[in-house]
Structure formats: structure tokens, C-alpha cells
Amino acid sequence: MNQQTSIEDFIKKIPKAELHLHIEGTFEPELMFEIAKRNKIEIKYKSIEELKNAYNFNNLQEFLDIYYEGAGVLIEEQDFYDMTWAYLQKAHSQNVIHAEIFFDPQTHTDRGIKFETVINGIHRAVTDAKEEFGMSAQLIMCFLRHLDEESAIKTFKEALPYKDKITAVGLDSSEVGNPPSKFQKVFEMARGEGFLTVAHAGEEGPAEYVWEALNLLKVSRIDHGNHCLDDEKLIAELAQLQMPLTVCPLSNLKLKVVEDLTEHPLKEMMQKGLLVTINSDDPAYFGGYINENYLAITKALNLSKEDIVQLAKNSFKATFLEDSAKKEMIKKVEECIYETVM
Ligand code: ADE
Ligand code: ZN
């Protein structure tokens, strides 16, 4: 006789795609200290414990200040490889079978690290994950929106020789005061070269930024999108387009986008017909990878097994994969449901 499966085990077991994940946000303190030591770089925190204690944020900017500082110990190609490989192993262990990963080249090139060092280290880990786990991953190059568009254009040009390794461009960092319209030209250049586009919008910024991401940057997904709920017309548009929103519950909690997970808008988004997915954003900083995000939001909002299935299927629908590959992965979700007694 089959054993009853708990909702926790079901979450662990169900195949998932992760679509909102900053590779620099997977940099665990233990690995950070190890890499800092081998690169002979001093970290301002004396111990792993002290560093972890600093992970208390009142808003996005307080987090970003620590996140950019942490990334400062990454120097060699092997460092980028090790960080990416650690994430891919973790994701594989949580039944993530496909990931679309953000990286922030300007965080590194502005410190004198070559673009090729960053991309080659990250991409080599992606190739190894395919070989070792059969797990697929694609890369999304994000522009830092607190910097000017000239810097984004310079980075875009540096990326062109590595075009075959990058699927899409994105927009991240400090949102308020840095609207998508600031990057209209570089996104147009990117689309002209065949890149897909995404943008963080409506995390701390207003619904208007989500409109701009849609209309000016012509994005294929909105990252976060929480504030779309302030605008009925926008909700209708996003639902009609079936525009994916890559939602990050533990991130929203840690950055105080929501006061408590029980107040998280995920369920409301689903009820309004939006195509939402669950993601971990910066798991090393926010206290959980994808399964912890699924579990925390499931408990907070009392989600059902059907909701979880919907979210897992949405994650594949929202990928940049070919339709045939999406279908194959959704079939794996179906097989998982079939095998599960609840
Ligand atoms: N960079 C890393 N995480 C981010 C987030 N949640 N919002 C904006 N930029 C980011
Ligand atoms: Zn993010």
C-alpha cells in the first residue's frame, strides 16, 4: 500500500522550474569566506556568524548594499564556477529541472573583473549540470538600474561575443527612482540582437513601472510584480496576456514588501487569473531555496495540492524553452501527481 504523502514531501518531489534567481544571491557565507581566504581579501565581518547576523533588512537597498559587498570577493573564473555549481547542486537536490539564472556583470566589471571571467565561470557550471544531472539552465544578463544607460550599453556591447551563452536581458537593483523608461534604448538594442527581455517591476516601485516594462521594454516576464494589484486595468492586461510574474515570497518578507506572509498577494494573484510562479530570488540572504519558498507560502496561505500543481506547471509554461520541451516537463509534473497519494 502507498504511504500518504505530506504536502511538504509533495513540494519536495514535484518537478519545478526556477525563473527568478540571482546567482550572486546564492553566495552562501561559508563559500564566501572560503573564496575570500583564497583570494586574500578581507571581509569586514569577523565570522560567518557575524555576517549572517547582518542579514536583517528594512528594505531592498539595505539588502543590496550587503549583496554587492559580498560579491566583491569573486575574482577568478573558478570563483564564479564554484558559486554557480553550488546553486545548481542545491537546485537539483530540490527537483528543479530547469533554471533561468540572472547574473549582474556590472557588479564585477566595475571592479575590474573581465566580462569573460564572469560568463565563462558561470557557463561552465551550467554545462556541467546538464551533463551530470540532466538539468537545463539558461542565463539572463541583468543591467543595474541604479547606474546610467551608457553603462548598460557598454556592458551590452561587451556581452555580444558571448551571445550564444545568454538568452535574455533583465533589469534589477534599486527600483524606486530608476524606472524602466531609463533603459528603453538598451533594451531595444538587445531585442534587435535577438535577446528576450524581462525586468524587475512593482517590487517596491509602482504599477506604472510594470506598464513601462510591458510597453517600453516589451518584456516576456515581469519579475515580482506585487504592485500590479494596485491597478485593476493592469491586472486585466496581465491576465489577458498571460504575462508571467516571477514571485518571490521569502524575499518579499525579508525585504518588507509584505509585513507577514499571511498578507502575501500570491493567492489573490492566482484568483485574478495571473500566471504566477514561485522563486527564491537571493536564497543565501533570504533564508530559503525554492522548496522553502513553496512551503512557507503554502503554510501561510493554506495553499492546496492543486495550487502547488498549478504553480509548478506555471513555472514551466513561463520558461523560455521551446513548446515541446515545456510539454515534456509538464508531463513530468503529471507523472509526479499520478504517483502521489495524498
Ligand atoms: N538584485 C538581487 N535581488 C534583487 C531584488 N530582489 N530586487 C532588485 N534587484 C535585485
Ligand atoms: Zn530579483
Query: 270 alpha carbon to ligand 1 midpoint, in Å?
Result: 23
- Give the pLDDT of residue 3: 75
Does pLDDT of 59 surpass 80?
yes
Task: Write out the CATH class of domain 3-341.
Answer: alpha beta
Ligand nearest to the CA of 21: 2
- Residue list, ligand 1 pocket, CB within 6 Å: 22, 25, 60, 67, 172-173, 200, 203, 251, 281-282
As given in the structure block, the three cell numbers for residue 254 are 525579508
Atom 9 of ligand 1 has which residue's CA nearest to it? 173
Q: pTM of the entire structure?
A: 0.98
- 341 C-alpha to ligand 1 centroid (Å): 38
Average pLDDT over residues 40-44: 96
Stretch 303-319: mean pLDDT: 98
pLDDT at 317 over 60: yes
Task: Report pLDDT for 199.
Answer: 99
pLDDT at 2: 61
Ligand 1: centre distance to CA 1 (Å): 46
- Euclidean distance between CA atoms 318 and 310, whole angstroms: 12
Counting from 1 in the atom list of ligand 1, the atom nearest the Cα of 25 is 2
pLDDT of residue 1 exceeding 50, the answer is no
Look over the chain and give the mean of its residue pLDDT values, rounded to a whole number.
98
What is the maximal distance between C-alpha atoms in the chain?
A: 64
- Whole-number Å distance, alpha carbon 275 to ligand 2 midpoint, is 17
Residues acting as catalytic residues: 203
Task: Supply the residue whose CA is at minimum distance from atom 6 of ligand 1.
Answer: 281
The confidence score (pLDDT) of residue 93 equals: 98
On the question of pLDDT at 61 being above 90, the answer is yes
Residue 21, Ramachandran bin (φ over 0: left; ψ between -120 and 50: alpha; else beta): beta
Residue 341: is its pLDDT beyond 90? no
Q: Which ligand is nearest to the CA of 223?
A: 2
Measured CA to CA in angstroms, residue 194 lies from 63, 141, 186, 190 at distances of: 33, 13, 13, 7
Residues less than 5 Å from ion ligand 2, measured at CB:
281
Residue nearest to atom 1 of ligand 1 (CA): 173
Of the pLDDT bands very low, low, confident and very high (cuts 50, 70, 90), residue 73 is very high
Q: How many angstroms separate the Cα of 195 from the Cα of each of 170, 192, 283, 289?
A: 10, 7, 26, 27
Give pLDDT, residue 301: 98
Per-residue confidence (pLDDT) for residue 32, from 0 to 100: 98
CB proximity list for 232: less than 8 A, separation 6 or greater? none
Measured distance CA(27)–CA(31) in Å, rounded: 7
Q: Running DSSP on this structure, what letter comes out for residue 160?
A: G
Q: Which ligand is nearest to the CA of 255?
A: 1
Mean pLDDT of 159-183: 98
The share of the chain scoring above pLDDT 70, in percent, equals 99
User: Residue 234 Cα, ligand 2 centroid: separation in angstroms?
Assistant: 21
81-102: average pLDDT: 99
pLDDT at res. 321? 98
**Would you state the pLDDT for residue 342?**
83
Helix residue ranges per DSSP H, the chain? 7-13, 29-38, 48-53, 60-71, 77-93, 105-109, 115-133, 149-159, 184-192, 207-215, 232-241, 249-254, 266-271, 283-286, 290-301, 305-317, 323-339
Q: For a substitution probing ligand 1, which of 18, 83, 140, 203 has the most ligand atoms within 8 Å of its CB? A: 203
